[in-house]
Amino acid sequence: MKLNTFIKSTLIGLTVAAAAPAAMAATQGQVGYLNSLYEIGLNRAADAGGMNFYINAINSQTCSQSQAASLAAAFFGSQELQDQHLSAVTQINRLYRAVLKRDPSANELLQWAAHPGATWDSQYTMVTFKAAPLADIARFFANSEEFKVNRLGTYCN
């Protein structure tokens, strides 16, 4: 199933009860995390079909940081996101907000932008980011100690 075929929910996001029967075993934290990946990462509301697809995947495994990282990689590596033709700055900002629930500091953004794979225009605006596939960066963020400390407990409970 393609990510861009998932159904839309309200901007408030799906609750565990509203996400359909498959969602009943998912925690509110997992549903909230998925909503963040949709609403912030893809800039659209989740759809029920997509939500059920991912919740079924969640239910097939024990809740873990690796599972959250795989979800982040799936969203940030999706063709749907690539088709949006976003600047690298926008992609990195969305990644921080969706996965870590915060904005990057100027230094963090510069850290990613200063990578040899980044290119700049004449106004010193980063126009491309080829350092690593965005999916790999998303996986790195979700496997970070920061995610573990600040988000994993909510995700799994």
Q: pLDDT tens digit string along 51-67? A: 999 999 888 888 899 99
Q: How many other β-carbons are positioned within 10 Å of the β-carbon of residue 7?
A: 14
Q: How many other β-carbons are positioned within 10 Å of the β-carbon of residue 121?
A: 9
94, 101 Cβ separation under 8 angstroms: no
Q: How many other β-carbons are positioned within 10 Å of the β-carbon of residue 106?
A: 9
The pTM of this model reads 0.75
| Domain chopping of the chain, boundaries | 3-156
Q: pLDDT tens digit string along 23-60? A: 457 888 999 999 999 999 999 999 999 999 999 988 88
Sequence-distant contacts of 28-34: CB under 8 A, at least 24 apart: 29/153, 29/154, 29/155, 29/156, 29/157, 30/55, 30/58, 30/63, 30/155, 30/156, 31/55, 32/154, 33/68, 33/71, 33/151, 33/155, 34/71
Q: What fold does the segment set 3-156 form as a domain?
A: serine acetyltransferase, domain 1 (1.10.3130)
Q: pLDDT tens digit string along 2-14? A: 333 332 332 223 3
